[in-house]
Amino acid sequence: MNNFMIKKEQWLKISFVVITLWFIWFANTHFDEYTVRILNNIAIFIILAVSYNLINGVTGQFSLEPNGFVAIGAYVAALLLVSPDAKQYQYAIVDPYPFVLTLHANFVVALLLGGAFAAILAAILSFPVFRVRGDYLAIVTLGFGFIIKILAINHPEVTNGSLGLNDIPEFSNLYWTGGIAIIAVITVLNIINSKFGRAMKAVRDDEDAAIAMGVNTFKAKTLAFCTSAFFEGVGGGLLAALLTSISPDLFDFFFTFQLLIIIVLGGLGSTTGAIIGTVLVMGGSEWMRFLDEPMHLFGYETAAMPGMRMVVFSLILIFIMLFAREGVMGKRELTDILKWRKKGGK
């Protein structure tokens, strides 16, 4: 019976992958450019949200640093992707270091290196970061994310300072973003269902009890932190190759705030929730574009109000926290819900 259940779950996963792949192909051939662009965004944010959820939701360590890791991935990938010729003319503030001009790699290498740099940085940072817990951890990671942005601004020899890097080849398309999103989701799910994942959940539910039971909590937290940083770095690379230009301002705290809304709305700790949250927030943010524009209300025309969407989003975040703290999914996954329906409550 148990065996059968595992098999059924795997079939479920495989069918999801197949359906997603078919949808990617269908979207790529049938949808217009605007829709495909939104879908690209959603796919990248699924990568980011699912990996952010691993450290925040599953392991319960309230990191506020994803913007920093995304920035690292984006900058590493961009430096490797921009052709030496295009680099020559970009550095307007100071002349770049000579080695910067020679850097060049293909897309896969650039993405992997972006992820690797972010993961290595996360491994180094985990020593100071995991000496503290709870809200202290939040503020320390926020500080590191901020410092990464300041470093990007103050090293124009590498990053071109506040001007950022331009002319990044537009390699990202739905096959890349969607494909990597599938890989990220499967990897994260496999980690959650492994013994490391159980250790992570133990850390979240009661860290002292986990230590007492002999769980190496530092290892569990560091693994979650590095995995999440790796995919955030890869996502950053994809983002750079989608937007074709990046600058430090793109990676301020607002970026983290967006991801935070996504995983809170979907349900902290649920990978399915992170995906649903991404679709709701990114899709909703497109749909709510009308809020920023002039409106006709009862015969009056209101002025354009850029930023109105963000007001609505912050109100949504507060309302979720006050009235529906579990979000859409709580800590459940899609497979839990399907199991529950079949067996009538287990």
Partner 1 sequence: MFMQQMVNGFSLGSMYALIAIGYTMVYGVLRLINFAHGDIMMVGGFLGYFGIAVLDLPFGAAVLLAIVGSALLGMASDRVAYRPLRSAPKISLLITAIGVSFFLENAFNVFFGGVPKAFPVPAYLENVIDFMGLTMPVSAILVPIITAFLLAIILWVLYKTKYGMAIRALAFDVGTVNLMGIDANRIITLVFGMGSALAAVGGIFWAVNYPSVEPMMGVLVGLKAFAAAVVGGIGSVGGAVLGGLIIGFTEVVVIAFFPELGGYKDAFAFIFLILILLFKPTGILGIDFEKSRF
**Chain residues that interact with partner 1, rule: CB under 8 A:** 60, 62, 128, 131-132, 134-136, 138-140, 142-144, 146-147, 150, 153-154, 253, 257, 260, 264, 268, 305-308, 310-311, 313-315, 317-318, 321-322, 325
Phi first, then psi: give them for residue 326, nearest 5 degrees.
-75, -15
- Taking CA atoms, 342 is separated from 167, 272, 339, in Å, by 52, 19, 5
* Rounded least distance, CB 305 to partner 1, Å: 5
Residue owning tokens 């809170």: 264
In the complex, least distance from residue 128 CB atom to partner 1, rounded to whole angstroms? 6
In this structure, what token pair is assigned to residue 94?
């100071």
Least Cβ distance, residue 301 to partner 1 (angstroms): 16
The rounded distance, in Å, linking the Cα atoms of 101 and 92 is 14
Nearer to partner 1, 170 or 249 (CB): 249
- Beta partners for residue 113, in sequence order: none
Q: Which is nearer to partner 1, 143 or 179 (CB)?
A: 143
Q: Write down the least CB distance from residue 314 to partner 1, Å.
A: 4
Distance CA 35, CA 32 (A): 6
d(CA 239, CA 327): 27
In the complex, the smallest distance separating the C-beta of residue 139 from partner 1, rounded to whole angstroms, is: 6
Nearer to partner 1, 172 or 228 (CB): 228
Q: What is the DSSP string of 6-49?
A: HHHHHHHHHHHHHHHHHHHHHHHHHS-HHHHHHHHHHHHHHHHH
For residues 121 and 216, is the Cβ–Cβ distance under 8 A? no
The nearer residue to partner 1, 113 or 129, going by C-beta atoms, is 129
Residue 100 Cβ, how far from partner 1 at the closest point, in Å? 19
Q: Which is nearer to partner 1, 18 or 304 (CB)?
A: 304
Q: Which is nearer to partner 1, 100 or 151 (CB)?
A: 151
